Amino acid sequence: MELTVTTSENHHTALDDVKKQIETVIKGKSEVVDRLLICMLARGHVLLEDVPGVGKTTLARTLAATLGLQFSRIQFTPDLLPHDLLGTNVLNPQDGSFSFHQGPVFTNLLLADEINRASPRTQSALLEAMNEQQVTIDGKTYPLAAPFMVIATENPVEFQGTYPLPEAQLDRFMMRLSLGYPNAEEELTMLRERRIDDPLQHVRMVLPARKLPLLQAHVAQVSVNEDVAKYMLRLVIRTRRESGVEIGGSPRASLALYRAAQARAFYNRREYVSPADVQALFADCMTHRIVLNSAARYGGVSVEQLIRTISDEEPVPS
Ligand SMILES: Nc1ncnc2c1ncn2[C@@H]1O[C@H](COP(=O)(O)OP(=O)(O)O)[C@@H](O)[C@H]1O
Ligand SMILES: [Mg+2]
């Protein structure tokens, strides 16, 4: 027992160090960094919706550096094909045999930049890989790396020439987050620190990637009592029934919220999920999955507002 306590204490210290390292680079985004780490612990993928230049690429690169994760970035474009992402069988002219050349998806942390610029075919190839942790090419299946996490980015203001992700695909992301601008003071700090060189070059690996599966296994052990689980479900089920909703949270959404809440509890050094974990993550796990009907949309209702109302109204277990 003593041993478990010590090892898990080490894990927590390592996680604190990861956050500190990330914050040597990314300024003023403490809550987003927490959520990104929570997703990572919960084996989830993240959709980052933001305008250009707010540190999305830098955040992904920094996260990879703090864990020594293998990192790939793919710029999604309309002509990107599934095999550009997944890999392809290449003919060996010497003996006529084929060998598989892995695509960039075979990595630990994949940054899929501007995912809504690729064709639906390529998008779904990625999302299938995300969901199944494997890819199938010419009838043969190849497992992806473990850990494997996707951070996909989307520009919220640019719609021309894009293929918005369908709801079924959005559902594959555990959370949708956005960084937003730093405040003036934080931006000033960023400018000062960047005068001489790039702080990303000084980021240290503080948690070896091979330990991540162990942490993820601990997260899965975090307990969720009956009342809290039922509370979670009441929240999700309400997103299906509320007036104005066309598509509410799926069972995959409930699962995402459940796992994320476990990861938040672990991240905050607790062995059980509290209603506060659920409340803190409900919006980030849910808003991207909900579609309002046109009457509600034209009536000026927003998904964010709907989620807030549900969260405020639903009685919280003590
Ligand atoms: N909150 C922030 N803290 C520190 N640096 C930032 C922040 N936001 C943006 N930057 C810096 O601005 C530049 C552009 O960031 P980048 O990660 O390329 O943005 P994006 O991928 O969102 O377009 C980088 O040098 C990055 O470090
Ligand atoms: Mg970028």
Asked whether the predicted pLDDT for residue 276 surpasses 90, the reply is: yes
CA of 217 to the centre of ligand 2 (A): 31
- How far is Cα 214 from Cα 218, in angstroms, rounded to an integer? 6
Ligand 1 interacting residues, C-beta cut-off 6 A: 26-29, 50, 52-58, 182, 190
pLDDT (0 to 100) of residue 7:
64
- How far is Cα 237 from Cα 254, in angstroms, rounded to an integer? 9
Mean pLDDT in residue range 195-213: 89
pLDDT tens per residue, range 172-203: 999 999 999 999 999 998 888 887 788 899 99
Tokens 């690169």 sit on residue: 61
Please give the number of the atom of ligand 1 that sits closest to the Cα of 48: 22
Ordered structural domains, the chain, with CATH: 2-216 (3.40.50.300), 222-318 (1.10.8.80)
- How far is Cα 248 from Cα 254, in angstroms, rounded to an integer? 11
**CB of 126 closer than 8 Å to CB of 170:** no
Predicted confidence band at 2 (pLDDT cuts at 50, 70, 90)? very low
Question: Which ligand lies nearest to the CA atom of residue 192 in the structure?
Answer: 1
CA of 75 to the centre of ligand 2 (A): 9
pLDDT tens per residue, range 226-246: 999 999 999 999 999 999 999
Q: Which residue has a Cα nearest atom 16 of ligand 1?
A: 55
Q: Which residue has a Cα nearest atom 7 of ligand 1?
A: 55
Q: Which residue has a Cα nearest atom 11 of ligand 1?
A: 55
DSSP for 46-96, written as a single string: EEEE--TTSSHHHHHHHHHHHHT--EEEEE--TT--HHHHHEEEEEETTTT
CA of 166 to the centre of ligand 1 (A): 28
Residues, beta carbon < 5 Å, ion ligand 2: 56-57
pLDDT tens per residue, range 115-159: 999 999 999 899 889 989 999 988 899 999 999 999 999 988 766
For the chain, give the percent of residues with pLDDT over 70: 96
CA of 113 to the centre of ligand 2 (A): 7
- In this structure, the dihedral spanned by the alpha carbons of residues 134, 135, 141 and 147, taken in order and rounded to 10 degrees, is -30
**CB of 156 closer than 8 Å to CB of 51:** yes
CA of 290 to the centre of ligand 1 (A): 29
pLDDT (0 to 100) of residue 3:
42
pLDDT tens per residue, range 39-77: 999 999 999 999 989 999 999 999 999 999 999 999 999
Predicted confidence band at 1 (pLDDT cuts at 50, 70, 90)? very low
Q: Which residue has a Cα nearest atom 6 of ligand 1?
A: 55
